[in-house]
Amino acid sequence: MENDRIDWIEGSPRSRKFNDIYYSRDGGPEESLSVFLKGNFLPERWAGRSSFTICETGFGTGLNFFASASLFLKTASSQHRLYYFSAEKHPLTKEDFTRTASLWPEFSEISSELLEMYPPALEGFHPIRLSHSRVYLILMYGDAGASLKKMTSGVDAWFLDGFSPAKNPEMWSDEIFHEAARLSLTGATLATYTSAGFVRRGLESAGFRVERAAGFGGKNEMLRGTLERQIQEGVKPEMPIHSSPPEKAVIIGAGFAGTSAAFSLASRGIEVTLIDKSAVASGASGNPAGIYFPQLTMHETVMSRFSLASYAYLIRHLRFLKRSGLSIPGDECGVLQLFADEDWEKRLRSGISILPESVAALTENIQAAALSGCAIAGAGIFFPEGGWLAPPALCLANTALYPDLIRFIQKPAVRIDRNDYGSVSVLDEEGGLIAQGDAVVLAAGHDTVHFTQGASLSIRRVRGQIVYLEHSEIECSPRVVVCYDGYLTPSFNGRSVLGSTYHPGDDNTELNPEHTLDMIEKMRRRLPGVLPGADPAAMKPEGRVGFRSAGVDHLPLIGPLELTPGVYVSGGHGSRGLLSAHLGAEIIASQITGSPLPVENDLVQAVSPSRFLRRQEKKDRARRALR
């Protein structure tokens, strides 16, 4: 994406791309309050509401967001939440954003928090949790019309705030007005600083009742409007229907998927019972080091988009935990992914070049060796914000921030029953009740298919093996995580982790010497400086075996089970569970609570467990059509 750049004229920011001011010279915060907040009758309209959703058509300097969030935090109950969607095709650089935010010290508390979470110029939705989970900012990077088409969440108030219609007419199109009407809930309001006739007529044509009002500063008039009836029902696909807001949820499985779901639900005020037959992070999430970097493909696919979105979200989640006082052992040292072969290198080079260097950068052989500090065979991709962390510590941190809302029960769960009055029960092997809630999340890895509700899910069990290389045994420990058709971490606690195998259908729980030898040989080919003189056959390192669950189409399964109301699944994450489980938890928490979805709807559909059922129905229709 192309950043906008700022020209500073007499201390005020002006868009270089559109040659227009970002806010009124008569006062930015005052304009936000007068036009957008008062124009939408805020804060009165969110009074008493458990949540309120605003959508803005141009994020710009973030001024409207800062003003809205600040007012919400001052006037709304501490139990209530603000969801703020904002489209932006040309985001400011972090340097320019930092400078503009410094102009308004009255918003410094929330602006400093956002600066820590500020996303790179990467197209897509970027959900950002702020102010102890009371405010959710979803930055929609990309064309505003296209972004609104990917939204499914009902909107209570609209801030139409693009650059001047004369300078940027795309932001004032009939397409955007009709999308706004489609997404608006009954009684939704809008406000905009412009009073242009074609804007008023376009909004009225879309279904809004529009009136002129006194403008701010040097402008005589502005527009404000109301949608008196919802244009389209069901703007939230696959949302549960609750007779009352959900209060309790049960999660089966206490690895990445389960603990992240517990965190996301508790952050929305839901009481959570977390159940596992073993301790927290005792399965595949119990490895001493988890690697995080995105999976890229030659062309843009839902897989690469979901992986990039998950990667960016995990980085923000870790920063949120750190800001909350929870430290996760690990190292943001960067990840160097070596090209598997010449064909793969050729296919990926063009795709990498369009990503921001803060996300991924091409790295030639000499650069790769300099980054790692070791002899490297081949070029690759460097992910500067990637790294490794301790999975058990992250799982525990996910459950630690809301101790009053999350309780853990160590007990085998074997059955899920839905009661006639709508709640869902989880039972033990004797039929005794372990816990009950308004919803159950199956996050039990490969054990998910042992439940009746999960028996038909397209998940397979995959064995993985890692080994530990003692620091005293290796000649060169890399300074960054190096990935190839395996991976090696920098040395920590006196050893590096070498991984990992991927063997579907292998149930062996003991270390396999042949697999160990294969891993060491692969590493020696790609990182010849690590063990230059050792005899791999003589090495007998310690290690660990774990079992992952993987979706058969290499995408996770996240969302409600279509045929079993009240039951959700977060599974099939494979070797990327550290990434996908955390963004997946936000999707599931949104679906259970009916709060706005944090990612594009096509990505939600791509990871939905119902996708296999839809594909089969499509095949059946095609077969019937041929008869």
- Residue 167's pLDDT is 86
Exposed, middle or buried, 1 (CB in 10 Å: 0-12/13-18/19+)? middle
Q: What is the mean pLDDT of residues 316-330?
A: 95
- Residue 150's pLDDT is 95
DSSP-assigned states of every residue in 328-392: --EE---EEEE-SSHHHHHHHHHHHTTS-TTT-EEE-HHHHHHHHSS---S-EEEETT-EEE-HH
Query: CA torsion 64→67→69→72, rounded to 10°?
Result: -130
pLDDT by residue (tens digit) across 206-234? 999 999 999 998 788 999 999 977 665 54
Token output for 293: 């970097």
Q: For residue 351, what is the domain's CATH number?
A: 3.30.9.10
- Residue 231's pLDDT is 64
Q: How many domains does one find in the chain?
A: 3
Q: Are residues 369 and 400 in the same domain?
A: no
Q: Are residues 83 and 58 in the same domain?
A: yes
Q: Are residues 464 and 454 in the same domain?
A: no
Q: For residue 422, what is the domain's CATH number?
A: 3.50.50.60
487 assigned to some structural domain: yes
- Residue 21's pLDDT is 85
Does residue 238 register a pLDDT over 70?
no
Q: What is the mean pLDDT of residues 397-418?
A: 96
587 assigned to some structural domain: yes
The percentage of residues in the chain with a pLDDT greater than 70, rounded to a whole number, is 97
Grade residue 173 by pLDDT with cuts at 50, 70 and 90.
very high
How far is Cα 559 from Cα 605, in angstroms, rounded to an integer?
Answer: 9
* Inter-CA distances, 286 with 146, 454, 547, Å: 40, 23, 11
Q: Are residues 442 and 530 in the same domain?
A: no
Does residue 473 register a pLDDT over 90?
no
How far is Cα 252 from Cα 264, in angstroms, rounded to an integer?
Answer: 15
Backbone angles phi, psi at 214, to 5 degrees: -60, 135
Comparing 300 with 172, which gets the higher pLDDT? 172
Q: Are residues 482 and 370 in the same domain?
A: yes
Token output for 410: 């160590």
Q: Are residues 152 and 273 in the same domain?
A: no
236 assigned to some structural domain: no
Q: Are residues 419 and 523 in the same domain?
A: no
Does residue 112 register a pLDDT over 60?
yes
475 assigned to some structural domain: yes
pLDDT by residue (tens digit) across 259-303? 999 999 999 999 999 999 999 998 888 899 999 999 887 778 899
Kind plus residue range of the DSSP H or E element containing 84: strand 81-88
Q: Are residues 425 and 571 in the same domain?
A: yes
Q: Are residues 449 and 468 in the same domain?
A: no
Flag whether the pTM goes above 0.85.
Answer: yes
Q: For residue 69, what is the domain's CATH number?
A: 3.40.50.150
47 assigned to some structural domain: yes
Please count the other Cβ atoms lying within 10 Å of the Cβ belonging to residue 329: 14
> Would strands 248-252 and 439-442 be described as parallel, antiparallel, or unpaired?
parallel
Query: CA torsion 361→365→371→372, rounded to 10°?
Result: 130
Instruction: State which residues form the domain around 444.
Output: 248-284+392-458+552-623
Q: Are residues 525 and 583 in the same domain?
A: no
pLDDT by residue (tens digit) across 492-549? 999 999 998 999 989 999 999 999 999 999 999 999 989 887 777 788 889 999 999 9
Does residue 92 register a pLDDT over 80?
yes
Q: Are residues 483 and 511 in the same domain?
A: yes
60 assigned to some structural domain: yes
Domain boundary among 226, 258, 276: 226
Does residue 426 register a pLDDT over 80?
yes
Q: Are residues 128 and 48 in the same domain?
A: yes
How far is Cα 91 from Cα 4, in angstroms, rounded to an integer?
Answer: 6
490 assigned to some structural domain: yes
DSSP-assigned states of every residue in 119-142: PPS-SEEEEEEETTTTEEEEEEES
What residues have CB less than 8 Å from 475, skipping those under 6 apart?
Answer: 529, 530, 531, 532, 533
- Which one, of 224, 174, 202, 281, lies nearest residue 35 by Cα? 224
- Residue 268's pLDDT is 95
